[in-house]
């Protein structure tokens, strides 16, 4: 009996196992309906990012073309002057006597100086700084193509620190110029010159400021400020834009060590070319002059004269029988307007007077003893500073 029960139990177990297998794998064999198949929701797949563009073999940003265009017009300027060797450096009388008895071969010793210049006309006119060629006995220029030549001084304007040279060589490359009026702070500029005599060198920077004055460099100041490296020897060289067009003549730097600190100054090309044209035509620069020295109105003067504004200038001195003196101006007069234009400060007044042709009459609106007064002054010619 026990044996039959075991056989029965095993048979039931095998049947149940077979039923579950069939019901799972082949339910249709048992007549059961197939389960509804629903399509799976599409799986969002990330869109592959576009591959980055391949970098060119050479970076597209370069100023090589600008340098190639401007560099042939930038020259090195070498000057020399002879010093009298009989001037003794000693304080002891006996040493002085021995020094004076030295051979004649040391009686004149050459002293050299160097700077830069810019060819601005195919006829050989070169712009440079006056302080580069001041008191020179001989001037020589060296071109970028290796040629050298003597240059002669056509004329100079010490008050703007400009000089015009003339060189007689064929096939000269003149630089293209750009109006300084549309120059903006932030524009890229290149300084080309011969710093320290190492050879023609190009440095890059931006326009850091415009209309800089009151620097004590020249009488008439309207500088472009740049952080392009300018060093000794760059004076008279070219400041060009990103297309190689002349925008300024490098003139000075602010430095406590003699090297570049990122503060350089250039005379605007528009101003420099106008002065050059006048020098070539007449040999000198003529500026209007009233024969008076203006002074800015300080807060102390503002209070002392009971003024409401710091605009205007006070006449600090007058030249005897000068244009202002002859017109009845007095020391202490406060000039408020020049030909109807507001006078802001002494530098502004000098720049307003300078372009007036000698002989023309101008009107000054002044305040004298607290009362307004109109004066008519006939402009004279500013005395030309003496130079070689």
Give the active site residues.
131, 161, 235
Residues 131-136: contacts with CB under 8 Å, at least 24 apart: 131/161, 131/235, 132/77, 132/79, 132/163, 132/235, 132/236, 133/77, 133/79, 133/163, 133/165, 134/158, 134/387, 134/388, 135/81, 135/388, 136/79, 136/80, 136/81, 136/388
Per the structure block, which two tokens stand in for 118?
Answer: 């810019």
Instruction: Give 286's contacts (C-beta < 8 A, 6+ positions apart).
Output: 278, 357, 358, 381, 382
Residue tagged 């305040």 (tokens): 367
* 74 token code pair: 């930038």
Enter the tokens of residue 129.
């700084």
Backbone torsions φ then ψ of 293, nearest 5 degrees = -110, 110
291 CB contacts (<8 Å, ≥6 apart)?
318, 319, 322, 323, 324, 325, 380
Which among 127, 130, 160 has a CA at the least distance from the CA of 388?
Answer: 130
Give me the residue label for tokens 């030309």.
384
Helix (H, G, I), strand (E, B) or coil at 166: strand
Which two tokens mark 160? Answer: 């703007």
Name the DSSP letter for residue 228. S
Task: Please say whether the beta carbons of 13 and 6 come within 8 A.
Answer: no
Tokens of 128: 């440079």
**β-pairing, 313-318 with 334-338?**
antiparallel
- β-pairing verdict for 125-128 and 152-157: unpaired
């Amino acid at each position: 009996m026990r044996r039959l029960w075991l056989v029965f139990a095993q048979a039931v177990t095998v049947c149940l196992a077979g039923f579950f297998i069939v019901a799972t794998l082949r339910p249709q064999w048992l007549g059961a309906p197939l389960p509804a198949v629903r399509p799976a929701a599409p799986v969002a797949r990330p869109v592959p990012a576009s591959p980055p563009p391949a970098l060119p073999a050479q970076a597209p940003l370069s100023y090589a073309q600008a340098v190639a265009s401007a560099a042939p017009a930038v020259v090195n300027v070498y000057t020399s002057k002879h010093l009298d060797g009989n001037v003794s450096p000693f304080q002891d009388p006996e040493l002085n006597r021995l020094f004076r008895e030295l051979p004649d071969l040391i009686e004149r010793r050459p002293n050299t100086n160097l700077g830069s210049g810019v060819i601005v006309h195919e006829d050989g006119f070169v712009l440079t700084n006056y302080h580069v060629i001041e008191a020179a006995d001989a001037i020589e220029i060296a071109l970028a193509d290796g040629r050298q030549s003597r240059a002669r001084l056509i004329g100079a304007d010490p008050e703007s620190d400009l000089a015009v040279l003339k060189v007689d060589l064929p096939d000269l490359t003149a630089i293209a110029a750009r109006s300084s009026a549309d120059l903006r702070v932030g524009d890229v500029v290149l300084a080309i010159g011969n710093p320290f005599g190492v050879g023609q060198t190009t440095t890059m920077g931006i326009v850091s400021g415009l209309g800089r004055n009151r620097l004590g460099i020249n009488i008439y100041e309207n500088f472009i400020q740049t952080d392009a490296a300018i060093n000794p020897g760059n004076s008279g060289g070219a400041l060009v834009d990103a297309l190689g067009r002349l925008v300024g003549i490098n003139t000075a730097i602010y430095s406590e060590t003699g090297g570049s600190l990122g503060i350089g100054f250039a005379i605007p090309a528009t101003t420099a070319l106008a002065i050059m044209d006048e020098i070539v035509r007449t040999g000198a620069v003529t500026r209007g002059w009233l024969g008076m020295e203006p002074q800015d109105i300080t807060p102390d003067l503002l209070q002392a004269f009971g003024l409401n504004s710091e605009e205007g200038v006070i006449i600090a001195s007058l030249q005897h029988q000068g244009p202002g003196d002859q017109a009845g101006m007095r020391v202490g007069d406060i000039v408020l307007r020049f030909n109807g234009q507001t006078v802001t400060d002494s530098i502004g007044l000098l720049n307003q007077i300078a372009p007036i042709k000698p002989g023309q009459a101008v009107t000054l609106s002044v305040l004298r003893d607290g009362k307004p007064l109109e004066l008519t002054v006939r402009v004279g010619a500013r005395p030309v500073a003496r130079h070689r």
